[in-house]
Amino acid sequence: MNTVSLMKNKVRVVLEKKELTKVVARVGVVLDISGSMRKLYREGTVQKVVERILAVASLFDDDGALDVWVYDNEFSRLPSVTEKDFVDYVNQKILNDDSIHKFGRNDEPQVMKDVLQKYLKEEPIDSPVFLVFLNDGGCKSGIKKYIVSSSDKPIFWQFIGIGNSNFDVLKKLDTMEGRVVDNANFFHFDDIETVSDEQLYDQLLDEFPNWLKEAKEKHILR
């Protein structure tokens, strides 16, 4: 049994607790690949994050695929990853691909624009989108435009901060005004490697159920 299969059992426990077992959703992950993330890529931490999020996608998504982006001051939309091809995904599809810009500065708004382009224009579907956004600090305030503009769309933004940098922009998500519904959440771990799967999934899926309920009430979701 592979690592993703083992983690899926832990996801199922959380899905049952939060009454999410019947939810069908697209799942995507946006990975910070700015210079300060270099060590976490080299040491395999980002690969482990991809595997942990893939376990959620495998249960939520009807085709079990996890959509993937990376960004620094540029961005790349990568091939989706599944249980069939997740082994060494980060090395093969990111680190060893010279066409992918990496280890520069961070610029979140441009990749957020592409996320919306994919899910709202290129591949619009009735299912909700659960978008996990990994960031190690210094997030640009321009993200507000895209969070507010997508607040009447079927996309929930779940930001995860890692490390001990500045997360002031993300800490203000819960009080961001001008939205139809609260469509974003943020939590932070100093060291995501030391966080248990159970703790990660519990926090990862903490506000998603509330958003689903409110989005249905506002007819954003059917």
How far are the Cα atoms of 31, 131, 138 from residue 5, in angstroms, in the given order?
22, 21, 34
| Higher per-residue pLDDT: 115 or 173 | 115
What is the residue whose two structure tokens read 């990568």?
78
Among 50, 83, 49, 92, CA closest to 65: 83
Among 12, 115, 25, CA closest to 55: 12
pLDDT in tens, 9-42: 999 999 999 999 999 999 999 999 999 999 999 9
Q: What is the pTM of this model?
A: 0.96
| H/E element, 40 | helix 38-42
pLDDT confidence of residue 62: 79
Q: Is 137 left (phi over 0), alpha (psi -120 to 50) or beta?
A: left
What is the residue whose two structure tokens read 């495998």?
58
Alpha-carbon distance 17 to 153, whole Å? 26
Q: What confidence category does residue 1 fall into, taking pLDDT thresholds of 50, 70 and 90?
A: low
CA 26 to chain centre: 11
Q: Is the pLDDT of residue 222 over 90?
A: no
Q: In sequence order, which residues have a C-beta less than 8 Å from that of residue 58 and are 6 or more positions away?
A: 4, 8, 64, 66, 82, 83
pLDDT in tens, 122-146: 999 889 999 999 999 999 999 999 9
Alpha-carbon distance 56 to 34, whole Å? 25
Alpha-carbon distance 150 to 180, whole Å? 9
pLDDT confidence of residue 79: 96
Provide the percentage of residues in the chain whose pLDDT is more than 70: 100
Contact status, residue 119 vs residue 15, Cβ threshold 8 Å:
no
**93, two tokens:** 């599809």
